[in-house]
Structure 1
């Protein structure tokens, strides 16, 4: 088997709610700054301990032609043909909050995975990997500031 195929299979297994294993509900809240521009496109995705793409949790923004501006997510997820299946919605306005909920395998928590959020706004600079949240039990509920468009991002575990 090729390495990309093995990685894709591992990511699919890790993100799916395992039939025999345990899963946790994770809710990610991303509060945008009042940056004075159009709605933001956001990609919320997971990477493993080595920084490799592990799966897309949500993409906010309706026009696929702009997804290339979510640079790190676009580059890392390029080989994932199903990266957008059921995980897209409208862009997020300045000052608004995006909440994303997903079921993640317990094995991902405290295993070096990160929740990453890329951001882009029309006619403004792109902000790849604007926020990187280590997926740890200790990190749950702790807000982290973004670099450009995101005021703060955090996640909760249930």
Structure 2
């Protein structure tokens, strides 16, 4: 399989500036609503893992590190159910992320919804759901156009 980019991120944002601006505006609305940035970055990473989006993985790893997400949580995210290091709130949000990313018959089940709704107030749940929808949109754009991953963020204090 060829992995050459079909279009780069910067080309996409230049060709479709309204689309890119709309998706960034949705991210800003969620950020402004007050959901914890470390949590939303974990969710974006998990959806991007599932969708196989190298661009979004690197992009959100950079943001997660900058937001102070523990390295262990980043390292063990693919196995979050078995890791024993995620809070109940994080676990509920990760389960909701997987349900909405792997949409299929009854994937957003009553049990998954009940678990997430015990950890998040209705407004938080609405914004959490918008976060997941938004990263899935970005994943589908970036995977289909094969955006090249951005450079990894340099550790603090690195030259």
TM-score (normalised: structure 1): 0.33
Could you say which structure has the higher helix fraction? Answer: 2
Asked which structure has the greater CA Rg, the reply is 2
TM-score (normalised: structure 2): 0.33
Question: Taking CA–CA contacts closer than 8 Å with sequence separation of 6 or more, which of the two structures ends up with the larger relative contact order?
Answer: 2
